[in-house]
Amino acid sequence: MNHRNHYEYLSLFEKMMTYDQLLKRLFNEKLSTSRSCSKLIIPIPKVFREGSKKTVYKNFLDTTEKLNRDKDHLISFICNELRTYASIQEGGGLAIKGRFNEKDIQKIMRIYIPDYVLCKSCNSWKTDLRKDIITRLYFMDCKTCGASRSVASIKKNSFEIIDKRKNKNL
């Protein structure tokens, strides 16, 4: 080892941190990132009845934007949980067949958010949901910690298939 390499090695060695210094640095970075994360605040569902057999979730599109999720994915989940049909109205509201109230929608959102929005590793809501074309599985990617996991697919209800068959015979 020549003198030049020896001095470079010593300067690198002096710059190395001790175990305690590394731990302090890690916890300081962890605290700063946890403080900077904001809470997920979604709008309270504005739900009203339209007629006797239809419910309208007026601020549905605002909710999908806040959650950063595709509206069709959330519609499928809501329809599956409520065992009914739904469609988007011109004003951006979700027309749901049946009589439901605000608490029903809130209950569904409490199920949807932990399964399809929150990261299991860091509890961040800054995630993306993507569908793999080859495997047809949904994956959730966290923008905060970089974790990725598969999430359950939303299965179609058997009654939807039966009703489609009825419509074809008409």
pLDDT tens sequence across 111-160:
999 999 998 888 888 899 888 889 888 899 998 888 888 888 887 654 44
The reported pTM is 0.68
Looking at residue 105, its pLDDT comes to 92
What 3-state class would DSSP assign to 40? coil
Looking at residue 3, its pLDDT comes to 52
Looking at residue 106, its pLDDT comes to 92
- Tell me which amino acid residue 26 is: L
CA-CA distance, 108 to 118, in Å (whole number)? 15
Helix, strand, coil percentages (3-state) for the chain, rounded to 5, are: 45, 15, 40
Looking at residue 4, its pLDDT comes to 53
Indicate the average pLDDT of the chain: 79
Q: What angle do CA 149, 151, 154 make, to 5 degrees?
A: 165
Domain boundaries, the chain: 47-157
Query: Looking at domain 47-157, which CATH architecture does it have?
Result: 2-Layer Sandwich (3.30)
Averages of pLDDT over runs of 10 residues in the chain (170 residues) are 52 62 68 56 88 91 90 91 90 91 92 90 88 89 88 68 45
Does residue 123 come out as left (phi exceeding 0), alpha (psi in the -120 to 50 range) or beta?
left
